[in-house]
Amino acid sequence: MERAARDAIETLLGFVRTLRAAGVGADTGRAAAFLRAVDTLDVTRPEPVYWAGRLTLCSHGADLARYDACFAAYFGGAAPAAAEHARPLATTAPAMWNPPASDDTDTDTDTTGLAAGDTEVLRTADIAALTREERAAVARLVSRISADRPRRRTRRLEPAVHGRLDHRRMLRSALRTGGEPLRLPRRHRSTRPRRVVLLVDISGSMAPYADALLRLAHVVVRGHPRHTEAFSVGTRLTRLTPQMRLRDPAAALAAVADAIPDWSGGTRLGTELKEFLDLYGRRGTARGALAIIASDGWERGDAALLGTQMARLARLAHRVVWVNPHKAQPGYAPLTAGMRAAWPHIDDFVSGHSLDALEQLATAVIGGRREGGVHRA
């Protein structure tokens, strides 16, 4: 994406954040609609952008006055009438409507472009290469990913507009109309949520990625609480589902940190996968589920045992997804003993090394949707 386009998108999203700070309920869906509308307009003219924002970002009459005040302040430089609990509003007018009068370097414009570039780099950078503050920023962004519910088809049929003809309903309806079937009711197979099981490696070699992966697990549990189970694996198996069900990400991760006794230890995937299958798999937790294992495959135990347990898991689960952050490295090959043992039983092998990769995991594998994906459209 060109720098000018990134600057324009960052500016418009800054306006959306300003509206939220002023109390306007401009949620992510409305922000996406706003960007799609502006994409068809001439962004160098304020009038079309004003109406595009007014029509897409305001949800009721009380928003209009706040919207007008924020628009005048953000794009015209006037002070807005902020809400009581509003955060400080942006005071820098967007460069696209206030171009510099001379060829001199514009500090605000450069700052905006650098921020947009940093954000873009943060999305694609390997989490292990980031500073502690950058990892914290990525972790907050991971918590914003919205994971939808994967579903599975059942044998039960339900009324539908399309599908096979429902002869019983058609005959009962015909009895009420003198034997003439005036309606042709139809039905199709219903769907139910598919269970998701996450096993997150929290050993020392996975320490740089553990926080982001656990936050993604929290996103999945939060969006699918009745049909998701989360565990940590290291030197022992720990069930984290009760802690993950806390709504607040910070509270949930704090509870998870207290619950895990073997942070940054070794990895005995084979032993712990056997324990998981013995305790939970046969009782239905893994049967027909989407099983996601996040690990680099550095098995310290018996690799043959890991292969045997992976075969058991593959027979029980609907699909087995392995998330290995090292997959993104140039020239990577699954040569470790653990990865070689697990490889024949893996359906999907993904990286999960960056924010983008985690979003793709939530979108493509779990079935979620990318929140704020219009940033990079």
117 pLDDT band, cuts 50/70/90, is low
- Give the per-residue pLDDT at 2: 67
- Give the per-residue pLDDT at 263: 82
Beta pairing class for 237-239 and 151-160:
unpaired
What is the rounded distance in angstroms from the CA atom of residue 15 to the CA atom of residue 71? Answer: 8
- pLDDT digits over 148-174, tens only? 778 888 888 999 988 889 999 989 888
| DSSP code, position 146 | B
**E strand spans, 161-284:** 164-165, 186-193, 196-201, 228-233, 237-239
Identity of the residue numbered 159: P
Residue 331 sits at the vertex; the CA angle it makes with 330 and 337, to the nearest 5 degrees, is: 120
311 torsion bin: left (phi>0), alpha (psi -120 to 50), beta (else): alpha
What is the rounded distance in angstroms from the CA atom of residue 194 to the CA atom of residue 318? Answer: 9
- DSSP assignments along 251-306, one per residue: HHHHHHHHH-S-TT----HHHHHHHHIIIIITTTSSTT-EEEEE------S-HHHH
Averaged over 330-341, what is the pLDDT?
A: 88
Distance of CA 22 to the CA centre of its chain: 26
- Give the per-residue pLDDT at 368: 53
- pLDDT digits over 279-289, tens only? 987 778 889 99
pTM value? 0.63
What is the rounded distance in angstroms from the CA atom of residue 243 to the CA atom of residue 55? Answer: 40
Unique residue bearing structure tokens 């109406």: 51
Q: Return mean pLDDT, the chain.
A: 79
238 pLDDT band, cuts 50/70/90, is very high
Identify whether the C-beta of residue 7 lies closer than 8 Å to the C-beta of residue 96.
Answer: yes
* Residue 114, token pair as written in the block: 């650098």
Listed as own residue / partner, the contacts of 92-95 with beta carbons closer than 8 Å and 24 or more positions apart are 94/8, 94/11, 94/14, 95/7, 95/11
SS3 246: coil
SS3 314: helix
SS3 232: strand
CA dihedral 346, 347, 352, 355 (to 10 degrees): -170
Per mean pLDDT, which range of 32-36, 92-96, 262-266, 351-355 is the poorest?
92-96
- pLDDT digits over 44-70, tens only? 778 888 888 888 888 777 778 888 888
Taking the CA of residue 13 as centre, how many other CA atoms within 13 Å lie in the half-sphere pointing to its CB? 18
What is the rounded distance in angstroms from the CA atom of residue 91 to the CA atom of residue 102? Answer: 21
Q: How many CB atoms lie within 10 A of CB 360?
A: 15
